[in-house]
A = this chain, B = another copy of it.
């Protein structure tokens, strides 16, 4: 836990790997036995995450094929730890010559050097987007278990790119197929077109742009989330803010809640079929840190990628002024690639909470 590469209590993932080592991956400890599971179950989200998918992202093309090293037999989980490995195709550290002396502005080159006194030649070490592969694979298992056990559906999409905001997306019904219908993963097609234009233009200028991602988790039963420090929104916030490039997190009304009165913001209770629900969902499906049965809704702010080919005035490690223009081509926009990362990280949080809540149920009481 304490060195930061593990997440979760009962469903616990530990990841490893940098950009140019032999491979990246994870160990999942605590997956319940008896779940049908093969590599194909993980590959879908890994493939959605990988680079080289479209003109709005980096043209690097890596297959990111995952191998399950342990923990299953005959396609069924054994209850033992699941080892997951994705080989790095390009293990030769690139020519990062300049970066060795000039830390990229707003990247992790400088802070890794200050923290460890040594760093990978590829720069920001574990801040690399490749690190997220292990979590996506681990979270894809959690998604499957949540779906099969509780019918939980998690869907994320790009809701803003720069100043362009998507309109009229219904979190109660939106499906992944609609999200994946265009390369920028914004289900508002008109907005998507404008976004793609914007990103393409900035890419051509060697620049990058930020955006907002929205996520919903439907069919989460009431009762998940642990007071006090492990409130559902608190663990979601940690999970989301641990994704590279995130700058903000909000649940339900989020920052808009700051401008509302209690009488406007409160969600009145109302009967929904056989369960008690709420008329509005300003709470985003969480009250007092515990799920209330309504859709869980949250949003993330993602900053523009720091590595740009446009020239920047900055300084090297010695403090000498320098001009830096990153070589090669880089992601001008990452919010669309963050979609599967956010979904699977949400699954990691929810599954852990589900298992903890199950531990309270006395045998025979359910």
Map CB proximity to B onto A93-118 as digits: 1 under 8 Å, 0 otherwise. 10000000001011110111011111
| Alpha-carbon separation in the docked complex, A257 to B163 (Å) | 10
A69 near B: Cβ within 8 Å? yes
Cβ distance A127 to chain B, nearest Cβ, rounded Å: 4
Q: Is the CB of B259 within 8 A of A223?
A: no
A44 near B: Cβ within 8 Å? no
Residues in chain B near residue A319, CB distance under 8 A: 269-271, 276
Q: Is the CB of B14 within 8 A of A29?
A: yes
The contact of A21 among B5, B18, B71, B255, by CB within 8 Å, is B71
Q: Is the CB of A242 within 8 A of B268?
A: no
Q: Is the CB of A223 within 8 A of B271?
A: no
Q: Is the CB of A210 within 8 A of B260?
A: yes
| Alpha-carbon separation in the docked complex, A268 to B162 (Å) | 21
Q: Is the CB of B248 within 8 A of A117?
A: no
Question: A126 and B2 in contact (CB under 8 A), knowing A32-B362, A114-B223, A317-B276?
Answer: no
Residues in chain B near residue A14, CB distance under 8 A: 6, 14, 27, 29, 81
Residues in chain B near residue A27, CB distance under 8 A: 5, 14-16, 27
Task: Write 7 A-B pairs (CB below 8 A) sorted by A numbering.
Answer: A2-B2, A106-B262, A106-B266, A160-B258, A231-B242, A247-B252, A262-B310
